[in-house]
Structure 1
Amino acid sequence: MRDVYVLATSCTAFGKRPGDSFKDLTREAYTAVLADAGLENGDVIEQAWFGNCGMGTFGQRNIRGQVCFTPLVREGLFPERVPMINVEGGCATASMAFHGAWKDVASGDMEASLAIGVEKTFVQGDPGRTLEIFEGGIDQLDPEEWHAYYKARGAEAGKPFDPNGAGGTVFMDTYAMQAAWHIKTYGTTQEQIAIAASKNHWHGSMNPKAQYRFEVSVEEALNDREVSWPITRSMAAPVGDGAAAAILVSGDFLARQPAEVRARALKVRASVLTGGKYRDPAEPGLSRVAAQKAYAKSGLSPSDVNLVELHDATSFCEIFQLEMLGFAEDGKGGDLVESGATRLGGRLPVNLSGGLVSKGHPVGATGLSMIHELGLQLRGEAGERQTDSPRIAMAENGGGVIGFDEAACSVILLEAPEA
């Protein structure tokens, strides 16, 4: 396998953008990644991976990427006859697109490949269509299977599962049941979840592309409107729109670029995908398997990682994933968050972008937005939220739901440019 480098990244502002179409968001992210790479057009791109979850709800069920790129091909910004592969994997969609582009280059088949994720989940005046997008992330063919699973798990956690209850969605309920189980089993507290939320809202307040750019105190997070106990609104990711992209290249391609371009390239130390299953609550999740594979492939360990972007669809997820990724013992993720170690200035900053709860979560774009944030940090370009001299960064992104697991999980390890 060849070494692979991230030549450039981009990310739009995330938020409710009813006036922007899928094609608008595609153009914005794509032209920005070209600019970041110092390219006038995409003639060097040999293949593209287009990530999206919800476009079918808007009537475009197939050839989504080809449709969104047609104007760019016509204008000479994207090369003609280049294959484009459409990708969908729930909230892990953009990470799957990244993995596809990585394999293009690592295999020796391509010198340069594009990964892009584009999403609109906010439908003004029609929340039912928004719900339709998210409902695709859980089994709709045999729903009685997960109904039975959640009823049993809810009873174990002391939080009964009521699919017809008012308030949140089934996805928020699944996270809340996991949080309740963690609280009951390990003594994790709702306040620790609120600390994670408050920390990420603080980080997000410094991110000009975040959907929520305001701070939330721990008390405010605790007292906010309940979504599904112990999760409140401040502890949950919002609905929004956005896009993000990355260009991945080989070492030979990189060597031919100007010095200023080479100086910003990030080395991909590992890109790993795993699949979910219905598991016992005490059994580790699929992100632990992904992380262990990533460490083995890269020759790195948790102690080598300097910062993390992880999938906090709720703030409890940060606590749980810190354990799964090897940064805290099982049951000790809340203590790690409470210690301040995961804040800007701490020994392991987590979600300096603001995470999903503050930066936002347009599902098909989220994974590549993580790569964009890590790129800013590893290059020293993150402004007031910049952490000190990071060398190794991790992105963890899960998508879809199978019981207490995600349906898919991505773990990516990146290395900073050489000084």
Structure 2
Amino acid sequence: MAREAYMGVLADAGLANGNDIGMAWFGNCGMWTDGQGSIRGQVCLTPLVREGLFPERVPVINVEGGCATASIALHGAWKDVLSGQTDLSLAMGVEKTFSLGAPEKTVQLFDGGIDQYDREEWLSYYAAAGVAAGKPFAPGPGRTIFMDTYAMQAAWHMRTYGTTERQIAMACAKNHQAAVHNPKAQYRFAMTADEVLVDRPVSWPLTRAMCAPIGDGAAAALVCSGAWLARQPEAVRGRAVRIAASTMTAGKYRRLDEPGLSKLAAERAYRAADLTAKDIDVAEVHDATSFCEIYQSEMLGFCGIGEGGRLAESGETAHGGAIPINLSGGLVSKGHPVGATGLSMIDELVLQLRGEAGARQVLGARTALAENGGGVMGFDEAACSVIILQR
């Protein structure tokens, strides 16, 4: 998977090899379950070095941040170029979350995204939150604990703001419909809101269709300076996309009625890019469950707090709407290969800004936003990235 992503990004940039690359950031969360930790990127890239495709002696920095891993890798590559360390930096995310005959490896991978040193803290936190949400915290088989935490947040949102199961199902069905047109999506079948609602229950109010599947994937991006880009052929220069902002925030044990860390990350990104939420033409957000898309619509300023369900119901987040979200199919359909997810979002948005998204294309898209969270700290993600791209 690393080879496929790397060769793909070289081809996209019109390069025969990576000789100009001065730094690499390699994102992965689960290779340690197969016994490989510490030097994951070096292990995966060594065959490419031997073949003269990846340059010798280039530093490879391994990063891990739960589902935000690939966005952290991109953030590092972006800072390399901003600081003048190199004119060309590589960001990669590679992940296997499915292990045939060894489901315990999948469990181990996801367990790494929550505090294993002080389990009592979050067990007590979720138990109290379950009372406030009207949905007891009751983890069960056949799902990760994260689905239960999202379900409690959804229940609280429904109780507090009147959000409905159907509104969540409409956000989900919209993404399944979009994925039909995405050749890279894991699930490429349409669903109606009614079909979503009657799918197998996972943790009320969430059904299976509303939850991101287990799957493998890889993605990569090259971040370059203006000087490097100026030396490239017009065919390359004409497809370049600018990183207008890249911000990161860290999570905490917040109150249910307290805004999440993505709100702060978005506010910082808007300031850095001198933009507002109204300037965003298309977005990819971290819908590990379809409720997350509703919630993040609010945190990113696409609607008011508590209005995310009504926004999804209005159709304005669908293709042709005022703020199209997750036209890739989102995590629930495109897939969620943990350590690669953030860069898969960037891939979709770059296609949109280049006008290369086919049937998913947002006409005239000039500015795009990606929100990607990883791990959990209470009801916050442990890490959150918001990236703004411009044509």
TM-score over 0.5 for the alignment? yes
Indicate the percent of aligned positions where both proteins have the same amino acid: 67
2:219 to 215, 234, 244: 244
Instruction: Name 1:363's counterpart in structure 2.
Output: 338
The residue correspondences of 1:198-237 to structure 2 (distance < 5 A) are 198-237=173-212
Provide the C-alpha distance between the structure 2 equivalents of 1:180 and 1:110, rounded to a whole number of angstroms. Answer: 48
Deviations 1:258-285 (A, max 9, x none): 1111100001100000000000011100
The residue correspondences of 1:277-288 to structure 2 (distance < 5 A) are 277-288=252-263
Instruction: Name 2:106's counterpart in structure 1.
Output: 130
1:151 aligns with 2:127: yes
Instruction: Name 1:112's counterpart in structure 2.
Output: 88
Instruction: Name 1:88's counterpart in structure 2.
Output: 64
Residue type at the aligned position of 1:365: A
Conservation of the 8 A alpha-carbon contact between 1:167 and 1:228: no
Instruction: Name 1:406's counterpart in structure 2.
Output: 381
Provide the C-alpha distance between the structure 1 equivalents of 2:379 and 2:142, rounded to a whole number of angstroms. Answer: 20
The aligned length equals 391
Q: Match of 1:194, SS?
A: helix
Deviations 1:193-246 (A, max 9, x none): 000000000011110010000001100100000000000000000000010000
Distance 1:74 1:167, change over 3 A: closer
**TM-score, with structure 1 as normaliser:** 0.93
Residue type at the aligned position of 2:238: A
Provide the C-alpha distance between the structure 2 equivalents of 1:236 and 1:100, rounded to a whole number of angstroms. Answer: 29
1:141 to 117, 120, 123: 117
Provide the C-alpha distance between the structure 2 equivalents of 1:219 and 1:59, rounded to a whole number of angstroms. Answer: 43
Conservation of the 8 A alpha-carbon contact between 1:224 and 1:233: yes
Provide the C-alpha distance between the structure 2 equivalents of 1:168 and 1:180, rounded to a whole number of angstroms. Answer: 18
Superposed displacement of residue 384, structure 1? 1.1
Instruction: Name 2:43's counterpart in structure 1.
Output: 67
Deviations 1:167-206 (A, max 9, x none): 4321000000000000010000010000000000001111
Unaligned runs of 5+ in 2: none
Q: Match of 1:270, SS?
A: strand
Instruction: Name 2:308's counterpart in structure 1.
Output: 333
Q: Match of 1:377, SS?
A: helix
Provide the C-alpha distance between the structure 2 equivalents of 1:316 and 1:146, rounded to a whole number of angstroms. Answer: 21
Conservation of the 8 A alpha-carbon contact between 1:239 and 1:361: yes
Deviations 1:19-63 (A, max 9, x none): xxxxxx000000000000000000010000000000000110110
Residue type at the aligned position of 1:383: G
The residue correspondences of 1:308-319 to structure 2 (distance < 5 A) are 308-319=283-294
Coordinate RMSD, CA, aligned: 0.6
Provide the C-alpha distance between the structure 2 equivalents of 1:149 and 1:133, rounded to a whole number of angstroms. Answer: 22
Q: Match of 2:311, SS?
A: helix
Conservation of the 8 A alpha-carbon contact between 2:110 and 2:144: no
Instruction: Name 2:11's counterpart in structure 1.
Output: 35
Provide the C-alpha distance between the structure 2 equivalents of 1:166 and 1:377, rounded to a whole number of angstroms. Answer: 39
Unaligned runs of 5+ in 1: 1-24
Provide the C-alpha distance between the structure 1 equivalents of 2:108 and 2:43, rounded to a whole number of angstroms. Answer: 22
Conservation of the 8 A alpha-carbon contact between 1:52 and 1:88: yes
Provide the C-alpha distance between the structure 2 equivalents of 1:325 and 1:183, rounded to a whole number of angstroms. Answer: 19
Instruction: Name 2:32's counterpart in structure 1.
Output: 56
The residue correspondences of 1:247-286 to structure 2 (distance < 5 A) are 247-286=222-261
Deviations 1:241-262 (A, max 9, x none): 0100000001111111111111
